[in-house]
């Protein structure tokens, strides 16, 4: 069955430090991959997506992610974290053959120390 694993439930980084959030997926074909961010009490905002082509994708707010087929991973990175990046981050895989449903990981809560 299709699944998404985000192994880190919480991550704390200092403001200005680099960030990497891990995401692994289980899916038979090349998936559509997404990262969403959720601030407290808010909806899910799309950060970036991968469909095909260049495996390094750029998103909003200075985030990027790299698709690695051999590792079934789609890790999110940011070179310098800002206090406003504190939120919960969700990785998701899109299944076109199942009504385009998204299967989400459990999320990673990012805390930023000043």
Residues making contact with other proteins (CB under 8 A): 32, 34, 36, 42-46, 49, 51, 90, 92, 94, 96, 98-107
Which lies closer to other proteins via its Cβ, residue 13 or residue 50? 50
In the complex, the smallest distance separating the C-beta of residue 80 from other proteins, rounded to whole angstroms, is 26
Between strands 73-78 and 87-95, the pairing is unpaired
Query: Do the beta carbons of residue 77 and residue 65 sit within 8 Å?
Result: yes
In the complex, the smallest distance separating the C-beta of residue 95 from other proteins, rounded to whole angstroms, is 8
- List residues bridging with 114 in a β-sheet: none
Burial category of 78 from C-beta neighbours within 10 Å (exposed 0-12, middle 13-18, buried 19 and up): buried
Which lies closer to other proteins via its Cβ, residue 33 or residue 112? 33
Which lies closer to other proteins via its Cβ, residue 86 or residue 102? 102
């Amino acid at each position: 069955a299709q699944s998404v694993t985000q192994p880190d439930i919480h991550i704390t980084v200092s403001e200005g430090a680099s960030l990497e959030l891990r995401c692994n997926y289980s899916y038979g074909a090349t998936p559509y991959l997404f990262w969403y961010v959720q601030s407290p009490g808010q909806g899910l905002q799309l950060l970036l997506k991968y469909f095909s082509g260049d495996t390094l994708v750029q998103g909003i707010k200075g985030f990027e992610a790299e698709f690695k087929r051999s590792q079934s991973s789609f890790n999110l990175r940011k070179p310098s974290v800002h206090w406003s990046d504190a939120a919960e981050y969700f990785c998701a895989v899109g299944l076109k053959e199942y009504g385009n449903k998204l299967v989400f990981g459990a999320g990673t809560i990012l805390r930023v120390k000043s």
